[in-house]
Amino acid sequence: MITTDALSPAHHDAVRDLLDAVTAHDGISPLDEAAHLALVGGTAQHLLSPVDFGNGTDHAGRAAAEAADEGALAGYVSVLEDGTVQGMVHPEHRRRGHGTALLRAALALRPDAGVWAHGALEASMAFLSAAGLHETRRLLTLHRPLDAAHPVPTVPAPTLEGLRLDTFDVERDADRWLEVNAHAFADHPEQGALTRSDLDQRMAEPWFDPEDLLVARVDDELVGFVWVKQEAPVGTADADDSSDNGASRDSQNVVPQDAEIYVVATAPSVQGRGVAGYLLATALERLHEAGVPGVELYVEADNTPALRLYEAWGFTVSGRDVQLRAAGEG
């Protein structure tokens, strides 16, 4: 097994190949966004189990990783700075001890680890339960169609004097955005801990569009926001591609993908004043007008008020992720 805090280019590619194979087989990605981002930056420990790697000897550090076989991987685990653990084993190399060895190594690094089972797949849950871990957290995926049969509820504009909607401006809004986000998600272990570096990293992602980060202002002070994540439509050609018949990009057969309500939040000073609902309705209406077929979002399973609100808006549960910890932890 290889342990490193920085993936070599070859190992990065091998993890990506492994991720593609596992996602295609299981129907869900075994890594969340934070783990994806940590593959190219951030502070994480990477545990790798190569297909043809030796006799179970542990190798630590970048030099050892680069010196070791950089071929295909049988398994991989990410250990983030906050103790979040998630990983995967190639479908063709399961039940050969790779998962057990990786989990033991991760728990040795972080006995307090919160281990994610994305999708709460039966095999994953059985494996982690057999290892002595127990469920401590459940995250639900909610989905809502945006077709004509599912109209967006009409929400009246909040009666807050001076309220207006605007597009996010990084130079003007970043610090205040982080402040509102931290207050709104003070009890959320990931979202509430976002830093300026985390924000910059997400804005550098290919999917980021400032037009999709809508903010609410009162007297020019940012008091809320809704951030929509949209991947490129299926079938979209590169900007410099051209067809033989000279057809424009707009006339190509592109199919929008479902979007994600990445985050919606309001400052304590305006909570309960209808700002969040107004932001959400505006975002959903924009997505509907753009032809986006559906939208999803994530919510903690024990957040009963939020679940009731989203159910009233036509969202239904479409998936679940479970976090587990060792006995006595969490």
Q: Is 229 annotated as a binding residue?
A: yes
Q: Is 136 annotated as a binding residue?
A: no
Distance CA 185, CA 18 (A): 33
Q: Is 237 annotated as a binding residue?
A: no
Q: Is 268 annotated as a binding residue?
A: no
Q: Is 211 annotated as a binding residue?
A: no
Q: Is 293 annotated as a binding residue?
A: no
Q: Is 202 annotated as a binding residue?
A: no
Distance CA 34, CA 96 (A): 28
Q: Is 205 annotated as a binding residue?
A: no
Distance CA 239, CA 145 (A): 29
Q: Is 161 annotated as a binding residue?
A: no
Q: Is 100 annotated as a binding residue?
A: yes
Q: Which residue's entry shows tokens 């590619």? A: 13
Q: Is 70 annotated as a binding residue?
A: no
Q: Is 305 annotated as a binding residue?
A: yes
Distance CA 12, CA 9 (A): 5
Q: CB burial class (10 A; 0-12, 13-18, 19+) of residue 147?
A: exposed
User: What token pair was written down for 310?
Assistant: 């989203």
Q: Is 306 annotated as a binding residue?
A: yes
Q: Is 235 annotated as a binding residue?
A: no
Q: Is 81 annotated as a binding residue?
A: no
* 101 to 5, 117, 220, 234, 291: CA distances (angstroms): 18, 17, 54, 38, 46
Q: Is 278 annotated as a binding residue?
A: no
Q: Is 303 annotated as a binding residue?
A: yes
Q: Which segments are annotated as binding site for acetyl-CoA?
A: 95-100, 264-266, 303-308
Q: Which segments are annotated as binding site?
A: 33, 95-100, 190, 229, 260, 264-266, 298, 303-308
